[in-house]
Chains A and B, each alone.
Chain A
Amino acid sequence: MNQTARRPSPSGAAMIGLFLAYMLIPIAATYLFSVATKWDATILPEGFTTEWYVTAFNHAYFASSLTNSFIVSLSAVLIGLLLVVPTTYWVHARLTGAKPLLELLMILPFGIPTVVLALALIRVYSFPPLGRSPFLLIGAMIVFSMPFMYRPVSNSLAAINVRILTEAAYNLGASTFQVLGRVIAPNIMPGILSGSLLVFATVFAEFTLANLITGAGFKTFPVLLVEFTRRDGRVAAALAVISFTIAWIASLAILGIARRGKTTHETVRAR
C-alpha cells in the first residue's frame, strides 16, 4: 500500500531469480563452452582455449557464410528502408485512409509461418534468375522482416503529427525537400534506426528461410551453425557465441536509441 521505502517481496525475488537463471544459464554456458578445454563434471571448465574459434575461422565456409549473411541482412535493411519508410510517411501525411490497409499488410507476415512463406515463394519462382537464388532469399527476408521496420517508424510518425508539422513548415515558407529533410527526418530518425537494427538482427539470425530457399547453394551463418551442431559441438558453440554477440549488440543499440529518443518501444512481435 505504502509507496515509500518499498522492498521486493521474497516470492517476487525468488521468481525473478529463477527467471534470470532460465534466461541466462544457456547463454552463459554456451559462452564458456566455446572457450573451454574440458568441461564435463565440474561447475566451471577445467581450462580455457581459443582452439574452437581458430577451427571455426579456418573453416572453408566460415568467411563466405558470414559474408553471405551480411549481404542478405544489409540488403534487407536497405531495400526495407526504401520500401517501408517512404510508404509509411506517405500514408501518414497524405493517405491516412490507407492506414488500415497498411496495418493489415504489416500484420500479414506474422500470420504466415516462415516455412510456408519459403514453400510458397519456391513454388512461384522456380525459374532463373530468381529460383532458389539469393535474390529470392532477400525478397523473402524483406517480407518476413518488414513489420519490424514498420512498427518503430510508424510509431515515431504517429508521435509527431506529420500533417500539422508539414503544414506549419509550408506555412513558414519551407520547400518540400526542406520539410522532409529538416522537419520530418530528424523527428523519425530514432524510429528508422531502431527499425533498421531490428531488421538486421532478425534477418541475420533467420535460419528457416535461408535453409529452405538457398540451402547449401548460398550458405548463411545460421545454416553453417546448424550444420556444425551435428558435426562438431565445440565449433558450433563458437559460431553460436558469434550469433549471440551480434544479437546482443543490436539489441543494446536499439535500447540505447529507445532510451535516448524516448520513443515508445512497443513490443508486439510473433515468430
Chain B
Amino acid sequence: MGLFALKSRQRFAPWLGLVPFLAFCLAFEIIPIIVLVRGSISDSDGVLTFANYQRVSAPLYVRSLWNSIQLSAITASLGTLLGLFIGYAIFNWPSERFRESLIALSDVTTNFAGAPLAFAFIVILGSNGVITLLFERQLGLELYPAFSIYSYSGLVLAYVYFQLPLMVLLIIPAFAGLRREWRESALNLGASTRQYWRRIGMPLLLPSLLSGFILLFANAFGAYATAYTLAGSRLSLVTLQIGFSVTGEVRHEPGVGDALAVVSLITMGMCVLAYQLLNLRMRSEMR
C-alpha cells in the first residue's frame, strides 16, 4: 500500500521515519553538548561545582571574552553600516546582469571566510605584503607598526571581508520588500525623499538591520580559522582559548575550556535565537 495508508492505522508510525535523523542529532550534537555543559559544572569526581566558572573570571579569560565581544561588535557594526549602503547601491543598479553578478560575488565571498582568506590578507598586507611594500617603496608610507594584519586592526579588516557580503545578502531582500507604493504615496502626500526615508524607509528596514547585526555578531563571535591563521596566540579571543584547551598548545587549568565553551555557546545561541524570533515577528508583521 501507499505511504498514506498507514495514517489511519497508527498515529505514531510516521515518527519512526525520523528515528535515524534524530539518533544522529542526539549522538553528535545534543548528547555532546549536554555532556559538555555537565562537565563544566562538575569537578573530576562528578560533584557539582562552579569552580570552572570562577576560574574563567581570571583576567586572561575575561579579556579574551571582552576581545571577542568587542571584535564581533565592531565588525558587525561595520558590516551592517557598509552593507546597508553597498546593498542599496547594488539594489539600485540599473543593469540586472551586473546586479546579479554582484549578489553572486557576495554569496561566494561570504563563504570564503577561513584560512585561505586570512592568508590572502597576509599576502597583501602582511609585514612583507604586496600592498605593504608597494606603499613603503612607492609612496614612502609605512603601514607598520601602526597597522598590523596580525593584530586587532588586521582582524577587523579580515572579518569585515566576510561580514560585509553577508549583510549585503541580508539587506537586499529588505530593500526589495519596500514597496514602490509606499515611496510614491509618501511623495504624493508631499513628503521629500529624506522624509520618506526617515519616517517610512528606515523604520521598515530597522528590524532587518537589527537581525542582520545579530547574525553578523554571532558570525564573528564563533569564527576561529581566520583569527587562528592571522593572530595565532598573539591575540586572546575566546574561540582561540577554547581551541588551545583542545590542542594543548597553551596550558590551561582543566575545566576552564569547558566553561568558556559553555559561555560562548550561550552567547551565540542567544544571538541565533534572537535572530530567529526577530525574523518570525517581521514575517508576521509585514502582513
Q: Do A and B come from one complex?
A: yes
Interface residues on chain B, number (Cβ under 8 Å): 95
B114: Cβ under 8 A from any A Cβ: yes
Across the interface, B242 reaches (CB within 8 A) one of A90, A116, A211, A236, namely A116
Q: Which residues of B contact A113 (CB under 8 A)?
A: 221-222, 224, 239, 242, 261, 264-265, 268
Name which residue of chain A comes closest to B113, CB basis. A271
Across the interface, B170 reaches (CB within 8 A) one of A22, A26, A267, namely A267
A165: Cβ under 8 A from any B Cβ: no
Known: A111-B273, A142-B24, A240-B116. A119 touches B261 (CB 8 A): yes
Known: A25-B124, A119-B36, A176-B2. A271 touches B18 (CB 8 A): no
Q: Which residues of A contact B224 (CB under 8 A)?
A: 113-115, 207-208
Known: A26-B117, A41-B137, A270-B219. A115 touches B246 (CB 8 A): yes
B144: Cβ under 8 A from any A Cβ: no
Flag if A222 contacts B28 (CB, 8 Å).
no
A91 to B27, CA, bound (A): 21
Q: Which residues of B contact A167 (CB under 8 A)?
A: 4
Flag if A87 contacts B28 (CB, 8 Å).
no
A16 to B229, CA, bound (A): 29
Name which residue of chain A comes closest to B224, CB basis. A208
Name which residue of chain A comes closest to B126, CB basis. A233
A205 to B110, CA, bound (A): 13
Q: Which residues of A contact B86 (CB under 8 A)?
A: 15-16, 19
Name which residue of chain B comes closest to A244, CB basis. B116
A74: Cβ under 8 A from any B Cβ: no
A72: Cβ under 8 A from any B Cβ: no
Flag if A107 contacts B272 (CB, 8 Å).
yes
B284: Cβ under 8 A from any A Cβ: no
Flag if B247 contacts A8 (CB, 8 Å).
no
The 8 closest A-B pairs by CB, nearest first: A113-B222, A120-B32, A26-B120, A12-B89, A41-B137, A111-B272, A207-B225, A87-B21
The chain B residues found within 8 Å of chain A, CB to CB, are 2-4, 7, 14-15, 17-18, 20-21, 24-25, 27-29, 31-33, 35-36, 39, 85-86, 88-90, 92-94, 102, 104-124, 126, 128, 130-131, 133-134, 136-138, 161-162, 164-166, 169-170, 187, 215, 218-219, 221-225, 228-229, 239, 242-243, 245-247, 257-258, 261, 264-265, 268-269, 271-273, 276
Known: A6-B94, A124-B35. 19 other contacts (CB 8 A): A16-B86, A23-B105, A87-B21, A90-B17, A110-B272, A111-B272, A112-B33, A115-B239, A116-B264, A116-B265, A117-B32, A120-B36, A124-B31, A143-B28, A212-B243, A233-B126, A240-B119, A244-B120, A255-B104
